Amino acid sequence: MPDYAWPDAQHRTLIGARVTRVDAPVKVSGQAKYTYDVHRPGMLYGKVLRSPYAHAKVVSIDTSAAEKMPGVKAIHIVQGPGSTIHWAGDDIVAVAAVDEPTAEDAVRAIKVKFQQLPHLVSDAEPPKGSAQEEGPLSIDAIDDMLDNQVPANQMVSTIQRDGLIKKASDEDLNMLKADGATDAVLEAIRSATLHPEASAKPPSNYQKAAAQTVGDPDKAFAEADAVSEGMYGIPVITHCCLESHGSISEWTDHEHLFTHISTQNVSGIPGQMAEPLKIPATNIRVHQDNIGGGFGSKFSPDRWGIFTAEVSRKAGGKPVRIMLERDTELKVAGARPSAYARVKVAAKNDGTLVAWQSSSWGTGGPGGGGMPPIPYVFRVPNQRQEHTAIRNNIGPARAWRAPNHPQAAVLTMCALDDLAAKLNLDPVEFFGRNLNLTQQREHTYREELSIASELMGWKQKWHPRGQNASGDTARGVGLSFHTWGGRGHASDCDLTIHPDGSVELKMGSQDLGTGTRTCILMVAADTLGIPMDAIQLQIGDTTYPPSGGSGGSTTIGGVTSSTRRASVDARDAVFAKVAPALNVQSDQLECVNGKVMVKGDSSRFLSWKEACSKLAVMPVTMRGKNPDKNKPPDLTNSGVGGVQMAEVEVDTDTGIVKVKKMVAVQDCGLVIDLKTAESQCHGALIMGISYSLFEEKVMDPVTGRMLNADMEFYRLAGLNDIPELVVHMMTGKGYDERGVIGLGEPPVISPGAAISNAVANAIGVRVPFLPLTPDRVLTALEQKAGA
């Protein structure tokens, strides 16, 4: 059996080193092509008429004037008369024309009559007694679960428990399948108990979503030495990918579609487009060289991906480009659900946590959304939680980098930090005392907490709350913990070695800017003992072996595992041909520095080129897979922990918060490229500062529209907002041998809680909700003064 295991530290040439990302030169020179940059011959430009109302019925559509306009090539009604619209900005009619201005004029010439319906865009605390009990599901509710990426097994158990309001039609089932329902979910729907009486009840905006009790919280609260109560929250924010969502689609003949699409999920797109377009998935080719940001919002072709193909079909198959405009991107192309909670926590005098109680709510738009995993990281022995999901008209939610975890971190770590303050304990000491509640990650967290404290200079910087101010400037420090899974996804790749020594690797994956290309090449080059630039890597096309979508920090584990197995097998095929020439058994050979040589005898070798020439005329192609039980060991793993600390300065006159320093200490098993791994952490800290201080999707209760759908008032952190950033990756013994684990999400989880805790430490009072804007800081200071 070949040895697929990761080489140990002495036998690695590239893995674990700091390697410059391979696609940086094409990116810095403007040569990297993104979907938005694709210019196909004869390409038409699409524009979309959108609903101005958050909740409305389409009454009539008149496209006659637009049809007569010169240059208009196709008009496609996306949601016709009778359709109900659930958020402002939803697609109604798509138009393709010879250029963008003409398409815009055509959209303006279309007349749509809407009947407005009452809307809700608030996610304020649900009125008492308003929440509907969990009950039979509608097809819409199931579709919402798909939109919210509820795991299939959870969907099946919910459907089995609650039943359906009415029997699902074949059309319903097809629609759900197109939206990503698995066979198990479809089967659960077919066999669900029916409760037709339930449909008579008007649906409420408020739905009880979860309630659970662990241990005996009442007794634990009664016996505790200290109890802290507070309200915490984190609003809806958007993904704001710089490359908006969209695609360029063309029909190469009546049955075949070629689409360039901005996606995190190249291999998974055809299967989602086949059913709605009524062609087999085999007839759909997807290509993407680069993607300008996804962050969890680009797994599906989306309705606009489907209708771009439909518009192209109506235009005789000509390429049609529809990329969302910036305002639409912010309104409809994804948002992170909000989460708010009233939390009560209790501990003994020495800081030992004993009880947690939370009543939480939040919205993921029309689907409502679930309860974040609270209490987070720390398994408090006695708990009671209830959660109410608010279904409203703000637009749909999508997975946002570490779904539900940043929310859980804010609700948990801020509440625990307030309890520590009540006990007059240094948070490092308080959290340290409770690390046994983190179970299997305890040792990691303990190491990380100590390193982070050192790097922050916590001992010198921490003072009890509100006791580190001079004049109108207050300084403070705060911390937070987080966890994530990150096991590698399913991934196939083909590695081919040609008799001339050239090597190519093909994989239907994508590089989100996380360094995926670089890491694949590092693993292949390390295994074959040749330079990275001697390997031609092809990704981003459905003609290559399928590899999973880049979500949940699963890419690095998946692509490196399949690459390692393919590289080992291809290398061993070369060894088998070379062994007779060097007169040894093939297991006595190794690949080092562009040579195939006898282990322990550097005088007996062939150059890589000579070795490959032994293949005679036929290249050798090996398929690498992940997971692959037949080719152990498992090269990936799951479960990481991280600790972050923030130092802030608050101007108590203006309420302006400045982050002065952030420290991230993170493990992710075996690090492939230390350089891009550190960049991931830097990026996550920066994104974290951005959502902690600035970002919020602001909705207008009167019109139901998003008020800040641009990049001036939907503010992202700029270079000026970024402080000293310190990143420490946990590597070496105890970490490397765990295998490769994902890193995309974990470091973006903690900044909100760490920064909020630092502000509380500085000004001596909690600012309950993110973002920590000047008005919120001043309000909290005022309340403190008045208290």
Partner 1 sequence: MRDDDENLKDANHSSESPGVSRRDFLKISGISVAVPLVAGPKMVMAAGQQVPVYGPGKVPMEFAINGKNHKADLEPRVTLLDALRDQFELTGAKRVCDRAECGACTVLMDNKPVYACSVLAIEAQHRPITTVESLIEGGNLHPVQRAFVENDASQCGFCTPGFVVSCKAFLDSHPHPTPEDIRRGLSGNLCRCGTYEGIRKAIAQVAQKGA
Helix (H) or strand (E) holding 102: helix 100-109
Nearer to partner 1, 33 or 776 (CB): 33
Q: Does 422 bind partner 1 (CB under 8 A)?
A: no
CB of 680 to partner 1, least distance (A): 8
Q: How far is the CB of 614 from partner 1 (least distance, A)?
A: 36
x/- letters, 257..296, toward partner 1 (CB under 8 A): ---------------------------------xxxx-x-
Smallest distance from partner 1 to CB 682, Å: 4
Q: Of 411 and 709, which has the nearer Cβ to partner 1?
A: 709
Give me the residue label for tokens 């309950």.
768
Which two structure tokens, joined as six digits, stand for 644?
A: 């972050």
The least distance separating partner 1 from the CB of residue 123, rounded to whole angstroms, comes to 24
Q: Are 570 and 319 in contact (CB under 8 A)?
A: no
Nearer to partner 1, 168 or 743 (CB): 743
Among residues 2, 3, 11, 25, which is the contact residue for partner 1, using CB under 8 A?
25
The answer to whether 493 and 504 are in contact (CB under 8 A) is no
Candidates 684, 730, 755, 760; binder of partner 1 (CB under 8 A) is: 684
- Find the part of the chain contacting partner 1 (CB under 8 A) among 15-23, 60-68, 339-347, 541-549: 15-23
> What pairing do the DSSP bridges indicate for beta strands 256-261 and 284-287?
parallel
Beta-carbon-side half-sphere exposure of residue 134 (alpha carbons within 13 Å): 15
Helices 139-147 & 152-162, crossing angle to 10 degrees?
A: 160
Site string for partner 1, 657-676 (x = CB under 8 A): ------------------xx
Bridge partners (DSSP) listed for residue 346: 227, 355
96 lies in the site for partner 1, by CB under 8 A? no
Min dist. Cβ of residue 692 to partner 1 (A): 13
As a whole number of angstroms, the distance between CA 770 and CA 752 comes to: 7
Binding mask 293-322 for partner 1 (x = CB under 8 A): x-x---------------------------
Residue reference for tokens 């890597």? 537
Q: Return the number of the residue (332 or 684) whose C-beta is nearest partner 1.
A: 684
Question: Rounded to the nearest whole angstrom, what is the least distance from the CB of residue 503 to partner 1 in the complex?
Answer: 24
Q: Which is nearer to partner 1, 518 or 636 (CB)?
A: 518
Q: Which stretch binds partner 1 (CB under 8 A): 465-473, 597-605, 719-727, 770-778?
A: 719-727
| Contact flag: residue 379 with partner 1 (CB under 8 A) | no
- Closest approach, Cβ 237 to partner 1, in A, equals 12
For partner 1, give the closer residue by CB, 231 or 711: 711
Q: Is 685 helix (H, G, I), strand (E, B) or coil?
A: helix
CB proximity list for 665: less than 8 A, separation 6 or greater: 448, 449, 451, 452, 455, 642, 643, 644, 728, 730
State in angstroms the smallest separation of the CB of 86 from partner 1: 26
Alpha-carbon span 45 to 319, nearest angstrom = 9
Q: What is the rounded distance in angstroms from the CA atom of residue 266 to the CA atom of residue 250?
A: 17
Whose Cβ is closer to partner 1: residue 334's or residue 369's? Answer: 334
Closest contact distance (angstroms) between CB of 703 and partner 1 is 20
Q: List the one residue from 3, 100, 218, 737 that touches partner 1 (CB under 8 A).
A: 100
Decide: is 649 part of the binding site for partner 1 (CB under 8 A): no
Q: Within 685-714, which residues bind partner 1 (CB under 8 A)?
A: 685-687, 690, 710-712
222: left (phi over 0), alpha (psi -120 to 50) or beta: alpha
Segments of 428-543 assigned E as strands: 469-470, 473-484, 491-497, 503-507, 535-539
Between residues 80 and 101, which has the closer beta carbon with respect to partner 1? 101
Residue 756 falls in which region: left (phi positive, over 0), alpha (psi -120 to 50) or beta: alpha
Residue where the block lists tokens 């402080």: 723
Q: Please, which contacts does 576-579 make with residues 24 or more away whose CB atoms are closer than 8 Å?
A: 577/611, 577/614, 577/615, 578/606, 578/611, 578/614
At position 758, the amino acid (one-letter code) is A
Residue 108 as a binder of partner 1 (CB under 8 A): the answer is no
> C-beta of 30: minimal distance to partner 1 in Å?
2
**What is the nearest approach in angstroms of partner 1 to the Cβ of residue 621?**
31
Helices of type H across 699-773: 751-763
| Distance (Å, whole) CA 274 – CA 708 | 36
Task: Please give the Cα distance from 635 to 294 (Å, whole number).
Answer: 26
* Helix 302-314 × helix 269-277 angle, to 10°: 50
Question: Which C-beta is closer to partner 1: that of 288 or that of 412?
Answer: 288
- Please list the helix, strand and coil fractions of the chain in percent, rounded to the nearest 5, in that order: 35, 25, 40
Residue 737's identity, in one-letter code, is: E
Report, in Å, the least distance between residue 377 CB and partner 1. 23
Phi, psi of 730 (to 5 degrees): -80, 115
The minimum distance between CB 276 and partner 1, in angstroms, equals 28
Position 17 contacts partner 1 (CB under 8 A): no
Cα dist from 50 to 83, 124, 327, 599, 787, whole Å: 13, 27, 11, 67, 48
Tell me how far, at minimum, the Cβ of 720 lies from partner 1, in Å. Answer: 4
How many amino acids of this chain bind partner 1 (CB under 8 A)?
56
Q: Which of 4, 6, 36, 430 binds partner 1 (CB under 8 A)?
A: 36
Measuring CA to CA, how many Å separate 739 from each of 11, 265, 273, 425?
A: 15, 24, 35, 37
Task: Indicate which single residue of 10, 30, 41, 785 sits in contact with partner 1 (rule: CB under 8 A).
Answer: 30
Identify residues 455-514 at the interface with partner 1 (CB under 8 A): 512-514
Q: Residue 95, interface with partner 1 (CB under 8 A)?
A: no
Measured from the CB atom, is 33 or 738 closer to partner 1? 33
Cis check: omega of the bond before 751, within 30 degrees of 0: no
Binding mask 215-244 for partner 1 (x = CB under 8 A): -------------------------xxxxx
Using CB atoms within 10 Å of the CB of residue 514, give its burial: 0 to 12 exposed, 13 to 18 middle, 19+ buried.
Answer: buried
Which of residues 125, 229, 325, 572 is near partner 1 by CB under 8 A? Answer: 325
- Residue from 4, 6, 15, 23 touching partner 1 (CB under 8 A): that is 23
Kindly tell me which of 329 and 418 has the beta carbon lying closer to partner 1: 329
Q: Which of 719, 785, 786, 787 binds partner 1 (CB under 8 A)?
A: 719
Stretch that binds partner 1, among 28-36, 155-163, 634-642, 652-660 (CB under 8 A): 28-36
* Shortest Cβ 689–partner 1 spacing (Å): 8
Alpha-carbon span 613 to 594, nearest angstrom: 14
Minimum distance, C-beta of residue 537 to partner 1, in the bound complex (Å): 16
Q: Mention every residue, 6+ apart, whose C-beta is less than 8 A from residue 157.
A: none
| C-alpha pair distances (Å), 774 with each of 247, 650, 653, 692, 777 | 40, 9, 9, 12, 5
Residue 629 class from Cβ within 10 Å (0-12 exposed, 13-18 middle, 19+ buried)? Answer: exposed
Nearest distance in Å: CB 244, partner 1: 8
Of 123 and 673, the one with the shorter C-beta distance to partner 1 is 673
Q: Which of 42, 580, 632, 718 binds partner 1 (CB under 8 A)?
A: 718
Q: Please tell me whether residue 29 binds partner 1 under the rule CB under 8 A.
A: yes
Question: Cα–Cα distance between 676 and 680 in angstroms, integer?
Answer: 6
Which residues are near partner 1 by CB under 8 A? 20-21, 23-25, 27-34, 36-37, 39, 99-101, 240-244, 290-293, 295, 325-326, 512-514, 675-676, 678-680, 682-687, 690, 710-712, 716-720, 722, 725
